[in-house]
Amino acid sequence: MAINLEIPKKHRALIDQAHQVAMNMLRPISRKYDIAEHEYPKELDILAAMIDGLEESGSSEGAGAAGVRRDGIADDATVKNGANMASVTSIAEMCWGDVGLMLSFPRQGLGNSAIASVANDEQLARFKGKWASMAITEPAFGSDSAAVSTTAVLDGDEYVINGEKIFVTSGERSDCVVVWATLDKSLGRAAIKSFVVEKGTPGLKVERLEEKLGIRASDTAVITFTDCRVPKENLMGSPEVNVEQGFAGAMATFDNTRPLVAAMAIGCAQASLDLTRDLLKEAGVVVDYDKPANLQSAAAARFLQLEADWEGARLLTLQAAWMADNRKPNSLEASMAKAKAGRVGTDVTLSCVELCSSIGYSEAELLEKWSRDSKILDIFEGTQQIQQLIVARRVLGLSSAELK
């Protein structure tokens, strides 16, 4: 089964629509909500209604948050370009408009991707239409998801959750939170499970919102759980602790969300490249694609290098999404895409600021904003260093205990 590197024809209409939205609705309000941090972008309600309408009509595969599900059997005779491919390609276009605003879309949170990936059919139906954020990181750890110390203790028909989560994207605006907690700290990572906790549940409190370098349109919250009781039916995946399996079930969420974050970096970087190409042309620097880089100006040669790196990241991301659509294990490819795109995103956006000199550094254009927004895409959902560690383990065939 081989991947075709062309954009699937059936997704081109969705991609074109996303680009039009990014250009005509997100770009014009991008600076406004970068300055007005924590103010909810009311303009997004119209777009959210449009997306809901497309999903309900069934006319747009991938209009909503997609997930990686392994409960189907791949048909080797059929190559699919499904919801995952639609999601990464359309998300890249939306982030060409604005990353923070894209992250602020109602019912399109990272928690929604987690639910789509690991929830059972009953849970999928019950949480349909909910806006879900995802709470993993705690004050005592960042990238080491196995260090979760938030606890979930079964008491009758409910789990009692206690702990604190930080850097929760859409933590204030969401309807519910996908919380990672441990059933028994002594059993290690195998006891880590994810729970859906709905807003309004006693014991759940949004403590504060963070002020940030970039994606300022997106609210990022600190949330505490104090004797927070949730129905046991809100645990996603198996309630059993399987030491041999580890917490592969919970970690499967990242097989979906990492390509999505990679797509965000690709979209933001593409915006920088497109604008920089135009600004260089205005300054008399024309990028000639028919001439070797070493025969062009230093600025043009650097630009060509940035575009080549960007293309590599884009293709890795499409590969990870394509594998998910075709029910192929993509943990390695998801981390490769996230590592490459995260690094390329920051390199491209900062280099474009440099290439455009004072115009790039000023607020006359959005280049400086894109360089700020892109940095988080190399950090959340697993830092650059963590992705490289995961890739090394997979390639070398070593466990987390063998390669730390």
pLDDT tens across 64-106, in order? 455 555 555 445 556 788 888 999 999 999 999 999 999 999 9
User: Active site includes 39?
Assistant: no
| Contact between 91 and 11 (Cβ < 8 Å) | no
Residue position matching structure tokens 């390639």: 395
Nearest to 314 by CA among 114, 91, 97: 91
CB neighbour burial string for 268-281, b if at least 16 within 10 angstroms, e if fewer: bbbbbbebbbebbe
H or E stretch at 10: helix 9-21
CA distances from 322 to 14, 128, 369 (A): 17, 25, 31
Pairing of β 158-169 and β 220-231? antiparallel
H or E stretch at 282: helix 248-282
Task: List the beta strands (DSSP E) in 74-191.
Answer: 132-135, 151-155, 158-169, 176-182
Among 164, 307, 368, 381, the active-site one is 381
Sign of CA dihedral 328, 110, 308, 339: negative
pLDDT (tens digit, 9 = 90+) per residue, 237-268? Answer: 888 887 655 556 567 778 878 999 999 999 99
Q: Give residue 256's identity as a one-letter amino acid code.
A: N
pLDDT (tens digit, 9 = 90+) per residue, 108-153? Answer: 888 998 898 889 999 999 999 999 999 999 999 887 877 899 999 9
Helix ranges (DSSP H) in 356-404: 357-361, 367-376, 384-396
H or E stretch at 229: strand 220-231
3-state secondary structure 141-158: ECCCHHHCCCEEEEECCE
Kindly state the percentage of the chain with pLDDT values over 70: 91
Residue 192, classed as helix, strand or coil, is strand
User: Residues 211-218: what's their mean pLDDT?
Assistant: 97
Sign of CA dihedral 51, 53, 58, 59: negative
- Residue 61 main-chain phi, psi, to 5 deg: -65, 130
User: Whole-prediction pTM value?
Assistant: 0.92
User: Residues 185-199: what's their mean pLDDT?
Assistant: 92
Residue 168, classed as helix, strand or coil, is strand
pLDDT of residue 1: 60
pLDDT of residue 73: 46
Sketch out the chain's domains with CATH numbers: 9-114 (1.10.540), 130-236 (2.40.110.10), 247-396 (1.20.140.10)
pLDDT (tens digit, 9 = 90+) per residue, 279-335? Answer: 999 999 999 999 999 999 999 999 999 999 999 999 999 999 999 889 899 999 999
pLDDT (tens digit, 9 = 90+) per residue, 27-59? Answer: 999 999 999 999 999 999 988 887 777 666 555
Residue 209: strand pairing partners: 221
- Residue 318 main-chain phi, psi, to 5 deg: -65, -35
